[in-house]
Amino acid sequence: MADALNLVDDARPERRARAWELLDTLEREAPFPGAARVGLTGAPGAGKSTLLDALVRALRERGESVGVVAVDPSSRRTGGALLGDRIRMRSRAADAGVFFRSMAARERLGGLADATRASVLVLAAVFDRVFIETVGVGQSESDVSALADTLVYVAQPGAGDMLQFMKAGVLELPDVFAVNKADLGRPAQQTAAELRAGLGLGEPAAGGWEPPVLCVCAREGGGVAELVAALDAHRRHLEASGELRERRRRGAEAWALEALARRYGSHGLDALGGRAAVARRLHEHGLPSAFAALRELGAEIENALRGA
């Protein structure tokens, strides 16, 4: 597992070809729906790592194997990163049914490095469930949303009023809200109530899923069973409504588009007719092979730019 993850993270040309082979195979051959992919995001200090630890314990108890990719921001100034989420999971060091990989976000401020998507695919090939944990800064919500089937937002009690949540667009994407530190009592319940009210104000989500707002106490395990139930419920909803396939396809397209934009800039996208045109091409390409699409369209752009 570690070797595969090292491989897909390797930028050297001689390794890239092998990595692509692996990823193409995984994307094509992976059974559908395969592993459940759950994103966990939220502000620093909300207790995501501790909650993740509690979730993993609960899932292990019912026999599920779990892979985790934990992404921490990279320092823009130094390029380094402090990857400190693993430390919360140490009680499961000897358990072969849990795999934890720490990653740095690299150039994406708050978002996910390209290698994250690849890592999730690798883990999804082996484990029953894969978590992607990130800090809620900048792009990470939309990035994780493109990668996860279910997005969980972990909030702190008293983390500012509803207006802040709405302004940040935080309410649009998550499928489940978990207000942590429920042991604080009133402040947690208040934040939960505010979230529910705020969600009620927005448009109902297409497809009819109403994101539940749960109170949990990661440290003591309170509310974790309910959270797992909510994850299960969302998965069933996605499968029953046919939305899971759609969602993964959209996510793959969005990721490929962003990757092309990052790599070649608007100039590069213009070479193929502009952003909207590229998005259409990706749509027509008929993913799930996002990595293949990325390579093909990337090669086209490079040719076009050379020719120009």
Chain residues binding another protein by CB under 8 A are 1-3, 5-6, 9-12, 15, 44-45, 72-75, 77-84, 86-88, 90-91, 93-94, 99-104, 106, 115, 135, 219
Closer of 9 and 175 to another protein (Cβ): 9
Peptide bond into 13 cis (omega under 30): no
The Cβ of residue 302 has, within 10 Å, a number of other Cβ atoms equal to 14
Q: How far is CA 129 from CA 15, 86, 87, 121, in A?
A: 27, 17, 20, 11
Q: Are 101 and 70 in contact (CB under 8 A)?
A: yes
Instruction: Report the alpha-carbon distance of residue 307 to residue 34 in Å, rounded.
Output: 42
CB of 33 vs another protein, minimal distance in Å: 26
Instruction: Report the alpha-carbon distance of residue 233 to residue 12 in Å, rounded.
Output: 42
AA identity, residue 210: E
Give phi and psi for 99, each to the nearest 5.
Answer: -130, 130
Closer of 123 and 176 to another protein (Cβ): 123
Mark residue 73 as left, alpha or beta (left: phi above 0; alpha: psi -120 to 50; beta: remaining).
beta
Closer of 83 and 228 to another protein (Cβ): 83
Q: Are 180 and 51 in contact (CB under 8 A)?
A: yes
Closer of 99 and 255 to another protein (Cβ): 99
Instruction: Report the alpha-carbon distance of residue 216 to residue 188 in Å, rounded.
Output: 9
Closest by CA to 289, choosing from 161, 121, 151, is: 121
Closer of 15 and 249 to another protein (Cβ): 15
Check the CA dihedral 82-87-88-92 and report its sign.
positive
CB of 1 vs another protein, minimal distance in Å: 7
Closer of 11 and 308 to another protein (Cβ): 11
CB of 55 vs another protein, minimal distance in Å: 16
Closer of 103 and 297 to another protein (Cβ): 103
CB of 72 vs another protein, minimal distance in Å: 7
